[in-house]
Amino acid sequence: MNKGEYAAMKSLLQEDKCRYPNTKMPAFQKLWRRAQMGGVLRLIYKPLFVAVRELKCIDMSVETNIGGGFYIGHGSCFTINSHAVIGRNCSIHKGALIGRENRGKRRGAPVIGNEVWIGINAVIVGNVHIGNDVLIAPNSYVNFDVPDHSIVIGNPAVIKHCDHATEGYINNKVDV
């Protein structure tokens, strides 16, 4: 990893920390970002990341591509497929699953935009695109594309348009 890549990864860690102004950022998240930095740091932090990941029931790879300002609510028990892509200022909560479909017309992993709030036990699967400023309500099942400025509710899920859908849900945002 060159100096520019290292600086970019360090910047992502700092952006994530900004989302936790009154509480500590989960140790798991710090280890994950440091393991992504590569080189000697990767050798040191990846085994620690794996140990904490197992302890906290988190299924997520060091290779997962997530933008800055990532917020983990309730700090445990969620799954993010290593092929998923998640934008900036996104929040995920306990029991959420961002998964890959291995067959059919939606084969692949989700691409999630900026400022997306993913509620407790929400499921997003397949090669779907979730727009910017989207709130996915707890216990919702999403296997279809979702446009910007939407709230997704239920199973089967229903999309409701809402300007500023995540207002009041995503706080302490980093610049997009």
Tens digit of each residue's pLDDT (9 = 90 or more) over 143-158: 999 999 999 999 999 9
Q: Quick check: is 167 in a domain?
A: no
**Peptide bond just before 156 cis, omega within 30 deg:** yes
The Cα 136–Cα 140 span in angstroms is 7
Domain containing 71: what range? 3-161
Instruction: Give pLDDT tens digits for 48-58.
Output: 888 988 889 99
CATH code of the domain covering residue 89: 2.160.10.10
Domain count, the chain: 1
What's the predicted TM-score (pTM) here?
0.92
Per the domain annotation, does 151 fall within a domain? yes
